[in-house]
């Protein structure tokens, strides 16, 4: 097979993880990132003048550099039609069409789709009128309030009490914290159970699954505080045992893909299913995402010893083939180091120390989510700054190594959770 040129669209920790994984493939001769970041410049050629959402720029870059495969990281370009534009230009793309990306871009659309195709979900209602939404909250009591549109993973508020839900409505619909994404809200039944993230790579027909993972969305230990883009993750997640996984595939993944084919919008890319699994093992869908998760991807690229390039390329070309199984893949844990104040307002430009020391640690990779180079070192430039990720024989070994590495890195006001993977270790 001729050596490939692969372009990854995006600049965050997820994209750093993807270019790191892709660059290891013997099938790849060049990895480009648009726009990329200073933190990933050692594993990808960064094209800083082409943004992930610059559709014309992505097409022109792909043609100029004779790109064989484009992997789109963030959700916004997918919702804007980046995959459609590239396919129309004759470029192979790992990522779904804009029509399919509505499954993430509109939570109400996704819930209606799931209801049509019998996918197990909580009860829900969608509202554009804030007074009607308030009335529904008072009826339900405990509930989940979601901004309908894209909100960088922060537009979901879990509300055990109606007062919290009313405050969330005021912020999302009244104060418009997430702009137009909050013009409509979805109010759902509050599910009881353990959450997991499930990943199915697909060409629309065939499926290859990755290890189930578990994200940690809340800002503080013990799942307290506000929702964030994710404060850490690990894989595999033992809550998705063999019996649960069978149900996820039979009741959720395959009905979803079949429903999309029936509606004329086959899925190409990675279907990320956010799950709640109750005590009986019944999975229900919290949400669909139409791209790799962040920070779950950081854990998955270390946990999986597979070469992902044949899978990504096969899915993009409608010829996905299951890989030969690899036993004893072990586990990986990602601990996010975030700026003080995240997920609200946070400072930038804080000097980061310890990266050189951690770079020498075996089975540890630090993925840059929000940094920039300044002089000989790095400073913070985002809310989630770094994803300190470690591989081990099991979750405990990976967790211990990740925290050992995380504690060697510092910047003013650094915040991190100390309980990543606690559920797995308590089993």
**Domain co-membership, 183 together with 231:** no
**Domain co-membership, 260 together with 393:** yes
Asked whether residue 365 is domain-assigned, the answer is yes
Q: What is the pLDDT of residues 333-386, one digit of tens each?
A: 999 999 999 999 999 999 999 999 999 999 999 999 999 999 999 999 999 999
Q: What is the pLDDT of residues 40-81, one digit of tens each?
A: 999 999 999 999 999 999 999 999 999 999 999 999 999 999
Nearest to 71 by CA among 3, 1, 5, 170: 5
- Above 90 in pLDDT, residue 293? yes
**Domain co-membership, 151 together with 232:** no
For residue 224, count CB atoms less than 10 angstroms from its CB and return exposed for 0-12, middle for 13-18, buried for 19 or more: exposed
Buried b (16+ CB within 10 A) or exposed e, 121-145: beebbbbeebeebbebbeebeebbb
Asked whether residue 296 is domain-assigned, the answer is yes
Q: What is the pLDDT of residues 186-200, one digit of tens each?
A: 999 998 899 999 999
Q: What is the pLDDT of residues 118-166, one digit of tens each?
A: 999 999 899 999 999 999 999 998 989 999 888 877 788 888 999 999 9
**Domain co-membership, 171 together with 198:** no
**Domain co-membership, 66 together with 214:** no
- Tell me the C-alpha distance between 308 and 12, whole Å: 19
pTM: predicted TM-score of the whole model, two decimal places:
0.92
The answer to whether 55 and 85 have CB atoms below 8 angstroms apart is yes
- Above 80 in pLDDT, residue 412? yes
Nearest to 185 by CA among 107, 111, 116: 107
Predicted local confidence at residue 154, as pLDDT: 76
Predicted local confidence at residue 261, as pLDDT: 97
Predicted local confidence at residue 1, as pLDDT: 55
Instruction: Write out the residue range of the structural domain in which residue 142 sits.
Output: 124-188
Q: What is the mean pLDDT of residues 89-109?
A: 96
Q: Using alpha carbons only, what angle is made at residue 386 by residues 421 and 215, rounded to the nearest 5 degrees?
A: 30
Nearest to 326 by CA among 343, 342, 293, 303: 303
- Give the domain CATH number at 49: 3.40.50.20
Predicted local confidence at residue 280, as pLDDT: 94
Asked whether residue 369 is domain-assigned, the answer is yes
Q: How many CB atoms lie within 10 A of CB 273?
A: 21
Q: pLDDT averaged over the chain?
A: 95
**Domain co-membership, 240 together with 384:** yes
Q: Which of 145, 164, 188 is the last residue of a domain?
A: 188
**Domain co-membership, 421 together with 367:** yes
Predicted local confidence at residue 149, as pLDDT: 87
**Domain co-membership, 184 together with 225:** no
Predicted local confidence at residue 405, as pLDDT: 98
**Domain co-membership, 359 together with 422:** yes
282 vs 157, residue with greater confidence: 282
Q: What is the pLDDT of residues 388-402, one digit of tens each?
A: 999 999 999 999 999
**Domain co-membership, 338 together with 389:** yes
The answer to whether 209 and 237 have CB atoms below 8 angstroms apart is no
For residue 387, count CB atoms less than 10 angstroms from its CB and return exposed for 0-12, middle for 13-18, buried for 19 or more: buried
How much of the chain, in percent, has pLDDT values that exceed 70? 99
Q: What is the pLDDT of residues 207-234, one digit of tens each?
A: 999 999 999 999 999 999 988 999 999 9
**Domain co-membership, 134 together with 89:** no
Q: What is the mean pLDDT of residues 406-421?
A: 98
122 vs 407, residue with greater confidence: 407
**Domain co-membership, 35 together with 81:** yes
């Amino acid at each position: 097979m001729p050596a490939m040129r692969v372009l990854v669209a995006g600049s965050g920790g997820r994209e750093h993880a993807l270019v790191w994984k892709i660059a290891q493939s013997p099938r790849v001769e060049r990895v480009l990132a648009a726009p990329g970041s200073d933190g990933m410049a050692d594993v990808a050629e960064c094209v800083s003048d082409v943004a992930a959402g610059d559709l014309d720029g992505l097409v022109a870059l792909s043609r100029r550099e004779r790109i064989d495969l484009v992997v789109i990281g963030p959700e916004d370009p997918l919702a804007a039609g980046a995959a459609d534009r590239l396919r129309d230009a004759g470029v192979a793309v790992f990522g779904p069409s804009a029509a399919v990306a509505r499954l993430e871009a509109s939570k109400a659309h996704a819930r209606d789709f799931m209801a049509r195709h019998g996918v197990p979900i909580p009860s829900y209602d969608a509202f554009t009128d804030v007074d009607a939404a308030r009335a529904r909250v008072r009826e339900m009591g405990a509930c989940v309030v979601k901004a309908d549109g894209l909100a960088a993973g922060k537009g979901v508020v879990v509300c055990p009490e109606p007062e919290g839900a009313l405050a969330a409505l005021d912020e999302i619909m009244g104060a418009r914290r997430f702009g137009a994404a909050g013009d409509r809200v979805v109010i759902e039944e509050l599910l009881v159970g353990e959450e997991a993230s499930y990943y199915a790579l697909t060409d629309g027909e065939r499926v290859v699954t990755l290890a189930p993972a578990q994200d940690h969305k809340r800002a503080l230990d013990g799942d307290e505080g506000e929702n964030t883009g994710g404060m850490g993750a690990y894989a595999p997640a033992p809550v998705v045992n063999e019996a649960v996984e069978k149900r996820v595939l039979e009741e959720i993944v395959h009905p979803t893909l079949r429903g999309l084919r029936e509606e004329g919008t086959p899925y190409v890319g990675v279907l990320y299913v956010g799950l709640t699994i109750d005590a009986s093992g019944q999975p229900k869908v919290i949400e669909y995402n139409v791209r790799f998760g962040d920070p779950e991807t950081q854990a998955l690229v270390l946990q999986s010893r597979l070469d992902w390039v044949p899978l990504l390329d096969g899915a993009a070309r409608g010829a996905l083939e299951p890989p030969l199984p690899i036993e004893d893949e072990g586990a990986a844990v990602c601990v996010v180091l975030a700026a003080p104040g995240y997920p609200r307002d946070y400072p930038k430009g804080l000097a980061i120390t310890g990266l050189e020391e951690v770079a020498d640690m075996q089975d540890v990779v630090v993925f840059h989510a929000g940094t920039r180079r300044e002089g000989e070192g790095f400073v913070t430039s985002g809310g989630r700054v770094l994803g300190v990720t470690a591989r081990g024989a099991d979750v405990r070994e990976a967790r211990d190594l990740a925290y050992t590495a995380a504690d060697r890195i510092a910047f003013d006001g650094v915040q991190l959770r100390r309980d990543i993977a606690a559920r797995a270790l308590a089993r």
